[in-house]
Structure 1
C-alpha cells in the first residue's frame, strides 16, 4: 500500500492523512525532517540524491531526512530517516531551530537536528547516489558555486547554520573557550566558576527539550565541559518576529519546574540570594560613596528593591552577547554559567527593549517595574569591575550612567 502522510494546518496540527502521491500532486503542507551529520573533525556529510526521487532528483544535499508518516512522532521519523538513508543509528541528536519551507514543489514544517558520527556511512541505494565529507568552508564554497545544484529547501532551512559554523572563540571573564571539530570546549578561568560550569552538564540537557530555541547540551571533560557548536554571531538587532521568539523563549524558561531545576544543578534560591547579597553590599560600600550626595538616597532605594523576588529559573545574563543569530534568524542562547533561581525580571531587563518580546511574554506591570530596576542596576556592575581591575575610565563612565538612570545630575563625578 502507498505510504500515508500527515497533512498539517498553519499551526502544525495534523488535520488529515493522504497518500504520498496526493501530497506531492497537490503540494500539501506536511512535516519533514533534516539532520546535518558531522564527523569528529567538524566535516559535514554531503550526498547526491538519486535521479528517481519524487522531488528534486539528482540534486546535492547536506542533510539526511524525509517525510513524516501519518501517525509517526517527528522525532521517531528523524531517527528512522537517518538510519534508512545513511545507515546511522544510536547517535545523539542535537535539536536545531524548527523551520518552514514552501515552493511550487513542496510545502512543509521541518524538524531539524545535527549529530556527530565517526562510523561507516551506508547509503540507501534508492535514495543516495553518492556521498562524501566536506569541511564547512568547502561546503559554503559549493553552495555559492552555480555548478553545484543543491536542494533549495535544505539551503533555505540550514544554509545559515552551515555558514554560521565559521566562528572565532576567545577568552572570557569566567572561562576559556576553543573549538575542535564540531565541539566547543570550555574550561574555568577561576576556581569559583568551576562548580557552576560543571553544573551545566546536568542542567542544560534536562532544560533543552523544554525550550523553543536551541541551547548548548554539554557533557563533562577532564577540565570543564564541551558541547556541539551552536552557529551564529551575537545578536545585532532583529525584527518584531525575532522579539516574539525571544519572549516565547523566556516565558518557557521561567515556567519550568523550580524544584526540578535545582535538582538538575541550578543554583537554589537561598544560595543565589546569599551570593547576590554580597555583591549588593559591595555596591553599597564601594559604589554609593562615589556618587553625588543628592542621588545616594535613590541609589540606596534601588539596591533595596532588587533581588527580593526569587520565583523562577533565570538565565541571569540574558543579553545580546549570549543570543546567537545567523542571516537574521535566531540560532541559540548560550553561556548558562549564571543560571539560578531568581527574579524573572532580571532576564527581561534588556529583553523588553526589543519589539515583540512583551507580546508573547505578557509581563505584568509589577514585572515591568522590576525589570526597569534591574536595567538601572546594569552600570553598577561596570563600576564594580572597574574598581576591582583598576580601570578608572570604566569607573567614571559607569558612575555617569548610574547618575543618569536614577535621575541625578550629569556633573563631574569623583573617581
Structure 2
C-alpha cells in the first residue's frame, strides 16, 4: 500500500479520536494524529541513529535518533511501537518497547501526539531501505556532539530533537 493511503486516527488536543483520514490528507491538512518514537540501544548502550530516505513524506533526508512512525487507525501506541521498531530495524523478536512518556509535538504547521519508548536490540539490524538511507550506533557523547552547533553537527528531524530534549530533561 502507498503510505499516503494508510488510514490514521485523527485526534484532538486530549488525544481522543475525532475521526479518520488517509495519511496523505492528514499531512496535507495538518490534522493531529498519533506517532511513536522508539529509542533503540544496543548491547553496549549505544543509540541507533539513522538518516531518513529522501522519499519520506515528512522530514526527508534528515537524521533521527529514534525509529518509529504513525499509529494506524485503531492501533494502540504499544502495538505500533513494536511494529515500527521491528520494521525499521529489519528484525523480528524484539522485546516489547518500554513506554517512557507521551507528549504533544507542535511545530511548522504539524501536530501529533507522540509516545516515547525505549528498547534494547541485541540482534543484528538490517534497516528497511524505504525508511533508512544510512545508520550507525552512537555513544551518548557522540550523539551529543552531533546534536551541537559545532562542525560535527547534523541536521535532525525537529520532532525527534524535541523528544530527545524532553527525554534528557527527565
TM-score between both structures, scaled by the size of structure 2: 0.91
Could you tell me whether the CA contact under 8 Å between 2:86 and 2:94 is conserved in 1?
Answer: no
- Distance between the aligned counterparts of 1:159 and 1:46, measured in 2? 15
More helix by share: 1
Over 3 Å counting, the alpha-carbon distance change for 1:111 and 1:88 in structure 2 is farther
Q: Which position in structure 1 is the counterpart of 2:80?
A: 77
CA deviation digits over 1:216-236, x for unaligned, max 9? xxxxxxxxxxxxxxxxxxxxx
Where in structure 2 are the equivalents of 1:343-358 lying within 5 Å? none
Specify which structure has the bigger relative contact order, considering alpha-carbon pairs within 8 angstroms and separated by 6 or more residues: 2
Could you tell me whether the CA contact under 8 Å between 1:33 and 1:66 is conserved in 2?
Answer: yes
In our comparison, the structure showing a higher alpha carbon Rg is: 1
Q: Return 5+ residue gaps in structure 1 as ranges.
A: 165-325, 332-415
In the TM superposition, what is the alpha-carbon distance from 1:105 to its structure 2 partner? 4.5
Could you tell me whether the CA contact under 8 Å between 1:4 and 1:18 is conserved in 2?
Answer: yes
- Distance between the aligned counterparts of 2:131 and 2:33, measured in 1? 20
- Partner SS for 1:79: helix
- Distance between the aligned counterparts of 2:50 and 2:149, measured in 1? 16
In the TM superposition, what is the alpha-carbon distance from 1:91 to its structure 2 partner? 2.5
Following TM superposition, the consecutive aligned residue runs of length 4 or more in structure 1 with deviations greater than 4 angstroms are: none
How many residues are matched?
164
- Distance between the aligned counterparts of 1:159 and 1:123, measured in 2? 25
Q: Which position in structure 1 is the counterpart of 2:147?
A: 143
**2:127 is equivalent to residue 159 of structure 1:** no
Over 3 Å counting, the alpha-carbon distance change for 1:8 and 1:52 in structure 2 is same
Q: Which position in structure 2 is the counterpart of 1:64?
A: 67
CA deviation digits over 1:98-133, x for unaligned, max 9? 111011242100111101111111111111000001
Where in structure 2 are the equivalents of 1:227-306 lying within 5 Å? none
Q: Return 5+ residue gaps in structure 2 as ranges.
A: none
- Distance between the aligned counterparts of 2:76 and 2:126, measured in 1? 24
- Distance between the aligned counterparts of 2:74 and 2:90, measured in 1? 23
- Distance between the aligned counterparts of 1:31 and 1:65, measured in 2? 11
In the TM superposition, what is the alpha-carbon distance from 1:57 to its structure 2 partner? 0.3
Q: Which position in structure 2 is the counterpart of 1:130?
A: 134
TM-score between both structures, scaled by the size of structure 1: 0.38
